Chains A and B, each alone.
Chain A
Amino acid sequence: MNINFKHEWIETNIGLMAVLTMLAISVGGLVEIAPLFFIDKTIEKVEGVRPYTPLEQRGRDIYIREGCYTCHSQMIRPFRDEKLRYGHYSLAAESQYDHPFQWGSKRTGPDLARVGGKYSNEWHVQHLVAPRSMVPESVMPNYPWLLSTPLDISDTASRMKALRTVGVPYSLSQAEYDANVTKFGVTVAKQLHIPDAKKNLGEQANFGNYDGDRSGISEMDALVAYLQVLGTMVDFSKYSDDAFVDNR
């Protein structure tokens, strides 16, 4: 111990101690996280990834509300067994519009990152209402109220505005809409326009008829719409199987 240094200097100066404590506990984060903002390969350059439509986004809210993430991950790791069971490993690009991301670290149930398109809407509805009628060995709880609860769509636009604040490119102005047309094409850009949120949500629910009942929009409609889009945005047949190796 250097003779000139005394613990007393820090211990008797609360301001100095606060600054040094902050420095000490932020080193780990700074070293591991900060470089990701400067490395240009952090997010893969890939076509097809878009923000969720209003209906899918509301389904995502229900996914979070019901705590699905406590048992289901959305992160396929680059291992052979995971590729065989779930498909291509998850890309960073695929969750770039997720706030918060649903990667998770607990798999009581299977990973859901690529569940979209794997089962029919009807399977999802029946499985959410009574999981054991479809998978006898399942330990998943029943979620019958999703089918009987009308989806609250009154705050859809506000929710999209909140996501826009954290960087999801939902559009409010004509200029933002035009930028989305350039980036995602007209069909997607229309879905991302906040003033049309309720109309888009209703149309998608009616057209998709996810819960098998066109008389109203249930929470089931939204959740199944969300589940059916998971992992389907990138067409991996367009890419060589080592297209994303350089990104890690």
Chain B
Amino acid sequence: MSEQKLQSQTVQTTGHAWDGDLQEYNNPLPAWWVYTFYATVIFSIVYWTIYPSWPFGKGWIGGVSDITYVNSEGETKTHSWNTRALLLEDLNQAASAQKPYFDKVSAMTYEQIAKDPEMNGFILSSGKALFADNCAPCHQAGGQGVVGFFPNLTDDDWLYGGSFDTIHETLMGGRRGYMPTFGEVLSGEQIDQLANYVASLSGTNHDAGKAAAGNVLFHSETAACYYCHSSDAKGRKDIGAPNLTDNIWLWADVPAAEGAEGKIAAIRGVISSGLNRGVMPAWAGRLSPEQIKVLTVYVHELGGGQ
């Protein structure tokens, strides 16, 4: 009795002594902790039976919980719970909520969509999200582009055409801008004359004498600019050759260049080094046909649709 009383009052030690008298306490764990631990053990067993858990042979135990989804082939399938099946179920739910709208997008012509106020609302909201994810890194959030790199989509100037069909074609297959390097075939003087002529086309400050010589060169077989930019210098949309007469600049940053000579120098730079850039990626493999149709209408409505 007296020994029991002693034990309940003093804490047990681990039983060994170091250096003669150095001992370690051996406190028991509190009851709440021990029972919480047992509860977690029971919880894990319940969890194992519901969700995929233990490896078994060359596979694993799938658990009793399952997920039903419809795959892209239209088959309804039931699979034991996993995140990939869960994603398909999520996508099915989202797709069924958006389906009435996307069905309408597929069924309607571009013109019908653009005129229908309800569909316009859908295009504006879904198109904005699509544009922000995929197009804004180059064409910027408002579609204003970056002079020297990526075209402005909000103005009336279109390299490849601003109709629904050409915008759709651009989105599907992408584009690649190309202009030969004239620095290798023309003299510095000739390039200067051409630059003055190009400046004169849009009313930019220029030397009239040089521009007149440039005019001749532009339409000659020596420089042959008119092949692509056409004889009236209004460009050719079938090959993406820009209109030089509209004072809208993509490659030569004329508006930002300092002084009359700086503006001519900016044009000279493009003529002499040419262009092998202006690459727009193809989106056909990355976005669905409905998404591309939404974006086509969205881009068309950014400002300059034709």
On A, residues with C-beta under 8 Å from B are 1, 6-8, 11, 35, 38-41, 77-80, 83-85, 87, 89, 117-123, 126-127, 133-136, 209, 212, 237, 240-242, 244-248
On whether A122 and B59 interact (CB within 8 A), knowing A8-B15, A237-B285, the answer reads no
- In the complex, the answer to whether B85 meets A6 with C-beta atoms within 8 Å is no
Residues of A within 8 A of B279 (CB): 120-122
List 6 A-B pairs, minimum CB-CB distance, nearest first: A35-B55, A120-B279, A242-B71, A78-B87, A241-B72, A8-B16
Q: Does B91 contact A (CB under 8 A)?
A: yes
Interchain CA distance A118-B282 in the complex, whole Å: 8
**B1-28 contacts to A (CB < 8 Å):** 14-16, 24, 26
Interchain CA distance A124-B170 in the complex, whole Å: 20
Residues of A within 8 A of B149 (CB): 122-123, 126, 134
* Selected contact of A248 from candidates B72, B84, B134, CB within 8 Å: B84
Count of chain B residues with Cβ under 8 Å from any Cβ of A? 44
Name, among A78, A85, A126, A127, the residue most crowded by chain B CB atoms within 10 Å (CB to CB): A78
Interchain CA distance A77-B150 in the complex, whole Å: 31
Give, as a whole number of angstroms, the nearest-CB distance from A243 to chain B: 9
- In the complex, the answer to whether B88 meets A119 with C-beta atoms within 8 Å is no
- In the complex, the answer to whether A1 meets B86 with C-beta atoms within 8 Å is no
Name, among A40, A246, A248, the residue most crowded by chain B CB atoms within 10 Å (CB to CB): A248
Residues of A within 8 A of B246 (CB): none
Which chain A residue has the least Cβ–Cβ distance from B133? A85
- In the complex, the answer to whether B146 meets A241 with C-beta atoms within 8 Å is no
On whether A247 and B84 interact (CB within 8 A), knowing A6-B16, A126-B149, A134-B146, the answer reads yes
Residues of B within 8 A of A89 (CB): 84, 87
Interchain CA distance A117-B278 in the complex, whole Å: 14
Residues of B within 8 A of A77 (CB): 83
* Selected contact of B137 from candidates A38, A121, A134, A246, CB within 8 Å: A134
Q: Does B280 contact A (CB under 8 A)?
A: yes
Q: Does B79 contact A (CB under 8 A)?
A: yes
Residues of A within 8 A of B49 (CB): none
Which chain B residue has the least Cβ–Cβ distance from A80? B90
Q: Does B104 contact A (CB under 8 A)?
A: no
Residues of B within 8 A of A127 (CB): 137
Give, as a whole number of angstroms, the nearest-CB distance from B173 to chain A: 13
